[in-house]
Chains A and B, each alone.
Chain A
């Protein structure tokens, strides 16, 4: 039995008929065709699917779609401005060399984004806490932490 939900996705209102057993990740990737949010495991252990719901980073693969009703969801597609201007965290990831294969990148950036929503000046411990659920197999995390740390410099 489909149900109707209404929520904000990347600043726009979405009204959709959804199956109650769908996850937010399923909805984003298969209904909205937003492929930027990745599935690395499907069971909450890799963070590749991280999106921000009401300013909190969540694993979209575990997040029931019905629960987004009335909420504000931001995905990686919603970070840059419509004119293509990148968010300062995105810029920082590029410039600091924090991207290799890039599969973990959207999730990492969304975790970092939620962190910056909460704290203006996160320290290294905050950063580690924010991304401890995001696995990366390529970078050794050093440049990712560096990118998040130095992102504030790029914040105008």
Chain B
């Protein structure tokens, strides 16, 4: 099959706006009469609030409103478990707890007013790690729940792990830990809330979930006594998201409350400090994993127990174990699987979704442990992976129906490009190679009851197309990929397709930009809507040209007869003919696409996604045993993505993902001490710079997924999933020490080397 628009390296549609500084982000937007909101956060990680005195703040000239918990209805809570009051009145449970908020005519006055609010606290003992929090004598955060362990039933059992153990010739067991890392979107979080005269709300927002957020805010309006109102979400240009905006947050509800009080637009935009301490990072995890294999290297079982630090409140991030189950049950063929996870409240910051949604933490444990198993069984790690690689057509123990699967090809490409056979184990104590793979959802993920996305298309009198999609663009390029799919289907140039994706008043419903689902789900939705338009268009043309409808072809905006190309008419003219006539019609179509995947059952089994994507990353490192520094010499990222709709944007996702994964592996860590963030700035929290950039070699494996739009599967998240274990495995190959705690800092390497030297040869 040859394509015109699909498969082309087409620059991102909004790039011209962005390179000229014309794209408007939340901080750039100013509305007439707009006020500036500011939040007062807690001084302590755990304390009772005895009194809040806002009188001085209220008297400050320029202050228009001051709000506290009593301005929300008493039982109003937000979040996945409805355990989070947007403003805290009785108790604070973390240093990011919101106590009061003000709005004023300038940000400076708002800030000054916050400082004038006096809060009396009774400090309570805190608990700052999940293990301590599970002890009998630990202070309970949410007293009404009676326990710090969340009542979430994360447990998956497939086959019989005990039987698997008995069939094993080799078994390894290890414990791995991962740290808090944060999204570090280059634009900080923020919103503008505005009520019209009828009490309908417009929220200018960065959200990744416009339709779900609309629902959340409608609930809030209801709670505030505004029944039956409308909520309109207008997304501004989003300056990075990576999962951080997959929920609604206290600051948004606070902005809404302030806007309601003042009847003015109220903007809250976080400072970089606030962005670090008051947004939700990736969960840190403690993972005990054991797996085994037969003499021939066939995996026999995998058993995983995990503890996650949930922080003080519960967002959607507490459901990451449901995604961790995916690699645990279905990365490589393993017949017997058991997984249990506990999310535990602590007085730390509460966690949320971040690119990969738990998959990177789980894959770090699985793939590191697999290398350990390879060593114990004397099988080369690459061979062990090939022996157990997933294959097309299989159904995994969790019930995933694997349609296309290019895992073997990915492994082979990585081994070839790394020169695996020549290099593995031969790095002279300095250099090493390692690899790790991933599975991720690539055909949507039925997390909610609907995994759908709607599209409306209209074609105007000039042959130009407007596509109104539920999809959200967070920089990944949904705007462009959707335009390419529509252009391909309609036979028109990509630049003739305008994609509108930012306004719930005009765009149809979509569950959100998560789970790497947008190309697949929104792409299919757009494709089917375009097909409907095309059917109408070819019908019109067939009448005008007096040829059968099947004989009509459209290319480059011209419709013609396939059998007699002399017969032709520009698409625009054909449309006008159909329009400007008695009883005329316009070309419009809609489609709601909901993939045929399943919600996981009570036992967490089911075909979560319509397609799954695979990949393998391979790394060659050089470790300086004097300084402990790790240098990445080569980085190969091979991904089965079904079909590359836009290789340019695809590479961008993989390169950016890989670098974020390398940061997760080697340098990034939020340091919390007794509930206080110690390194909340770009100096001390090390996201990678161009100096650390690695020439990621992207290998695209096309497996042509039948259900995908033009064969495509998702790729937003996979790029960072296997980075950390691939690097850890390469380090082990280089220097014989396995670091089981991320990030792998030079200090940890030196310490491990020292221990190794001290204890003979045991790593």
Contacts and interface: CB of A to CB of B under 8 A. Distances in A.
A145 B659 CA distance: 14
For chain B, give the interface size range: 35 or more
Given A97-B12, A100-B12, A135 B186 contact: yes
B182 to A, nearest CB: 10
Do most interface residues of chain A lie in helix, strand or loop, or is the interface mixed?
Answer: loop
Contacts of A139: 652, 655-656
B15 A99 contact: yes
B105 to A, nearest CB: 13
Given A97-B9, A104-B186, A137-B184, A43 B681 contact: yes
Given A36-B20, A75-B21, A102-B237, A137 B242 contact: yes
Given A93-B19, A97-B11, A137-B240, A132 B185 contact: no
Interface in B470-494: 474-477
Which of A48, A104, A138 has most chain B Cβ within 10 Å? Answer: A138
A102 B20 contact: no
A128 B12 CA distance: 24
Interface string B676-709: 0000011100011111011110000000000000
Contacts of B682: 41, 45-46, 135
A106 B24 CA distance: 12
Interface string A13-55: 0000000000000000100011111111111011010000000
A128 B687 contact: no
Nearest to B473: A101
B325 interface: no
Which of A33, A36, A131, A132 has most chain B Cβ within 10 Å? Answer: A36
Contacts of B222: none
A139 B698 CA distance: 13
Given A137-B687, A138-B652, A35 B186 contact: no
A97 B651 contact: yes
B343 interface: no
Contact of B652 (A75, A100, A135): A100
Contacts of B23: 102
A143 interface: yes
B475 A37 contact: no
A29 B30 CA distance: 11
A93 B272 contact: no
Contacts of B660: 137, 140
B655 A142 contact: yes
Do most interface residues of chain B lie in helix, strand or loop, or is the interface mixed?
Answer: loop
B580 to A, nearest CB: 33
A67 interface: no
Nearest to A84: B20
B546 to A, nearest CB: 44
Interface string B225-247: 00000000000011111100000
Contacts of B681: 41, 43, 45
A7 interface: no
B242 to A, nearest CB: 7
Given A76-B20, A97-B9, A139-B656, A43 B272 contact: yes
Nearest to A134: B690
Contact of A80 (B20, B239, B474): B20
A143 B651 contact: yes
Contacts of A76: 19-21
Contact of B690 (A94, A109, A128): A128
A124 B80 CA distance: 47
Nearest to A40: B186
Given A39-B27, A95-B11, A101-B238, A140 B658 contact: yes
Given A139-B655, A142-B693, A90 B186 contact: no
Q: Closest 10 CB pairs between A and B?
A: A36-B21, A101-B475, A102-B18, A103-B239, A140-B659, A76-B21, A140-B655, A45-B682, A35-B28, A100-B475
12 contacts: A36-B22, A41-B272, A42-B271, A75-B21, A94-B19, A97-B9, A102-B15, A104-B186, A136-B186, A139-B656, A140-B659, A141-B688
Interface of A: 29, 33-43, 45-46, 48, 75-77, 79-80, 86, 90, 93-95, 97, 99-106, 109, 127-128, 131-145
Interface of B: 9, 11-12, 14-25, 27-28, 30, 183-188, 237-242, 271-272, 474-477, 648-649, 651-652, 655-660, 681-683, 687-691, 693-696
Given A36-B22, A101-B239, 7 more contacts: A38-B186, A103-B240, A135-B682, A137-B183, A137-B656, A141-B688, A144-B690
